[in-house]
Amino acid sequence: MESLAPNIEVRQTVAQCFHTLSTSTDNKDVIAALQTLSSHLDEGPESKTTPVQRAEFRRAHFTRTLQFLVSNIQADWLHSLTASQRTELWDGLFLRGPPEQALLVLMDGIGELRPSMNLNHLVSITERFLQSGRLAELLWSYCLETGASDSPQLRETLLGRIVALPDLTANRLHPNNRPLFLPQQYYPLLAKEMLTALERTCKALKDGTDCSLMFVAQTLGKLCIQGHSGLVLAVMAPRLSVCTRSDMVLQRVCWKLLENVPQRWMESVLTGLVQAISGHDALGRIIGNLVLTNKKAQFVLTHKLLLLQYKYETQVLRIVLGYLASDRERRPLLLQVLRSVSQAWANPSAVKHTPLEQQLYVSKALLLCVSLLKDSELQELRSELLQCMLGGMQSHLDSSVVRIRHMGMVVGECLSSRMDINGTKLKFEYEQDEETKELLSLMTPFTGDESEPESVNGVSSPQDISGVNPSTQNTSSQNKSGTPSSKTDPDSDLDSDDELTPYDMSGDQKINEASPPRYLRDCLEALISSEDAVRVELSLRVAEGLVRKNVFATREISIQLTKVFLHMEDKYNITGFLTLRQATMVALAVTDCIPVTHYLTTEFYSLNYSLRQRLDILEVLALAAQELSKPITVNRDSSLGVAATTDVTPYPGDNPVHWRQVVEKRIQSKTKRLSKGPTQPPAKATPNRYAPVAGHFFFPLLRNYDKPQMTFDLLGTDHLVLGRLIHTLGLFMHLAVNAPVAAQMGRALLDFVWAVRYHVDQMVRRGVLFAVCSVFLSMPSQNLLVDLSDQLFETRTWLADVAEGDPDADCRNLAVQSLVLLDKSLKKQLQDSQALNLES
């Protein structure tokens, strides 16, 4: 029972402080309660609490205390404190306790609070948390294994908060994010804190204290796998490269750090490290013989970076191969790499089917491997290299690509020179360029391994310590050497252009650096992921043409493209943005009618859409239906052939119809007529593309209008959307004239508008009357009496009432027109029935 006394005492003290802060209105009591909580974090002989009480408070009550403070951040007692009291008593609790608990509470509070001064207060505390070195304390606590808990869930959550802090703050504070939270500043700061933790680990090991690098290794791996290896290793790699020259303990710490990186993150760490490091000696000091003890590291360094990926600079190849060759235990891996690279270079199928850049990359790797071989190793591999040279040269020289042939010639020359076959060397005639010169330079040993400054302090950017590429040195020296010759050229006086007439360039147009996409998928990719305003605008302007031109490609991605345009915003203030967006969506709905129409009508009643987006959906469907309702003509199908011949202007005498039209006009002008009947025959009924799909436009919009899970009140306050919906349905009905589904559409539309015929909004009433007119115009007269006989009397009475008493003049006019249409339809039906009776 005596061991439980401190726990109970601390719990009672914390509970009493919480009660005081929740209920007291006396400022002195509030300050006393905060001072009591802060006393559990005081260290040293002057502390009012015992070490046992402080440990218990940190273990069981610190997180709860911070959560209580955040939940009461709007309390009056907090705002009654002075600025100095708030900084010392309230902010100090976040900056003095266990850093891992404080960081988790701060990030949770930032994620929960709405934009306000309270949120700004928490953000400022988080900023001070980072600037005061608390991240280094956090990492160091896990190196000593003195964290609050060893729970895997806690570590995973903490890792996620540390690594994704810029993303979390950007999502929450995106208009007012702090500069310290930007990736360009946060990740170098985190890298410096990791270096501080490693230095403290070295000191602790020298003093005989055991440490663990597991958490730091997990942090490094997670940073690299999420794409931040460039910013982090640009700070860590130069510093470690310099410090490991003289500190053997730090070398062992680095080896252990890399060994503890989880396997799933090992590749990202190694690829980032070989790009940030300056030489193979530094790489060897940092990772040691990791390639021999870790299968994942061996696969990455001996296979993936050399044969599967080819995006890296030549310096990366020098570092990786130099690392394998610099140690006696690692040299067998160099011979293994040479065999695999030579087989890949000599493979005829690879020469034909792999990209030219990859073949150049493999050629560089092969020459670097050969240049690093010792004479004894060269004699051991002589037969294999000779077979590779003969087979690979034959495959390269048989290629029709000039660059591939040149690669084969250069590699063949270098291999024969290195092997010295019977004192004979191959020599080919080819035009030397930058590529061939670089390949030839790879056979000379590279002496400029490292260029780090001796000073350890002040390493902050990769530009200060990056290695020098020999190819750039050669190029710059050649340019410098070639400059004087160009100045002293004796023929320069003969090239004067003073007597030439200047060319008129007033009509020239400026060519954009970015070219518009030619394929629909490239257009979609640019609209989704590009942040370049010019590229987005070009993609937006050509999207409609690409959709109408590439019908099959459009049908593959029509839904995805429609979704992008429906959610697209004018972020770059593009001229005519709304028109271009609407035209492209109409083209999609016309080209791939049924899937796109189904998607739009479904999204009209979906959640999380604004009223503007729902109105856009109705406008797009209405325009698409109007375009589909146009008559199908032969010219529409042969538009491509006509467009292809518009560049050639036909000669008038070549047109056989031309002279006949002229003669016909002369005869008509000189002919006298006593009476003139109709000169044009009546319009013929022609098929269109809308009639077969009219139901896909119409019926889905009537499906969910009265369901309560919508985010907008269609039958309540959103009169604008309801009126536009009824107008659109009336337009669909009007365009469906003579369609087989017109009768079903008419019955459904009358049932829908009957419930809102007395709506208070005049726009809705106009839409109802327009829909009724469309029904009377589009439905056959015989269907009116057969299908709507029960409703015609009530509809006529209602129309008469509207024509007499509606306060809106447009509604009265529409009601009168509807009555006239209804009477004409009934009269026509009676005449047709009488004619049938007489015939019978």
As a whole number of angstroms, the distance between CA 596 and CA 592 comes to 6
Question: How many C-beta atoms surround the C-beta of residue 179 within 10 A?
Answer: 9
Q: Are 520 and 561 in contact (CB under 8 A)?
A: yes
According to the model, what pLDDT value does residue 466 have? Answer: 35
SS (H, E, C) 345-402: HHCHHHHHHCCHHHHHHHHHHHHHHHHCCCHHHHHHCHHHHHHHHHHHHHHHHCCCCH
As a whole number of angstroms, the distance between CA 526 and CA 668 comes to 59
According to the model, what pLDDT value does residue 354 have? Answer: 87
As a whole number of angstroms, the distance between CA 724 and CA 730 comes to 10
According to the model, what pLDDT value does residue 545 have? Answer: 93
- The contacts of residue 288 (CB under 8 Å, 6+ apart) are 251, 254, 255, 258
Residue whose structure tokens are 């889905």: 700
Q: Which two tokens stand for residue 678?
A: 């109709």
As a whole number of angstroms, the distance between CA 754 and CA 804 comes to 19
The angle at the Cα of 493, spanning 489 to 494, to the nearest 5 degrees, equals 105
Angstrom CA distances, 537 to 30, 218, 476, 520, 530, stand at 59, 42, 39, 14, 11
As a whole number of angstroms, the distance between CA 192 and CA 198 comes to 10
According to the model, what pLDDT value does residue 434 have? Answer: 86
What confidence tens digit (pLDDT) does each residue in 756-767 have? 888 888 888 999
Q: Are 356 and 401 in contact (CB under 8 A)?
A: yes
The angle at the Cα of 124, spanning 121 to 127, to the nearest 5 degrees, equals 155
According to the model, what pLDDT value does residue 428 have? Answer: 82
Query: Helical H runs in 511-656?
Result: 520-529, 533-549, 551-567, 577-591, 593-604, 611-628, 634-637, 639-644
- The contacts of residue 250 (CB under 8 Å, 6+ apart) are 198, 199, 202, 240, 243, 244
As a whole number of angstroms, the distance between CA 18 and CA 10 comes to 12
Q: Are 244 and 254 in contact (CB under 8 A)?
A: yes
Length of the chain: 840
Torsions phi, psi of 312, nearest 5?
A: -90, 160
Question: How many C-beta atoms surround the C-beta of residue 545 within 10 A?
Answer: 14
Which residue ranges in the chain fall short of pLDDT 50?
1-3, 148, 448-449, 452-496, 512, 636-657
Residue whose structure tokens are 């013989």: 289
According to the model, what pLDDT value does residue 651 have? Answer: 39
According to the model, what pLDDT value does residue 382 have? Answer: 84
As a whole number of angstroms, the distance between CA 378 and CA 384 comes to 10
Angstrom CA distances, 759 to 79, 716, 756, 764, 799, stand at 52, 10, 5, 7, 14
Question: What is the helix (H) or strand (E) element at residue 432, kind and residue range?
Answer: none
According to the model, what pLDDT value does residue 269 have? Answer: 95
According to the model, what pLDDT value does residue 567 have? Answer: 93
Question: How many C-beta atoms surround the C-beta of residue 165 within 10 A?
Answer: 23
- Helix 577-591 and helix 551-567: axis angle, to 10°? 140
According to the model, what pLDDT value does residue 517 have? Answer: 82
Amino acid (1-letter code) at residue 425: K
SS3 assignment, position 424? strand
According to the model, what pLDDT value does residue 639 have? Answer: 40
According to the model, what pLDDT value does residue 174 have? Answer: 79
Question: How many C-beta atoms surround the C-beta of residue 813 within 10 A?
Answer: 14
According to the model, what pLDDT value does residue 460 have? Answer: 40
According to the model, what pLDDT value does residue 641 have? Answer: 38
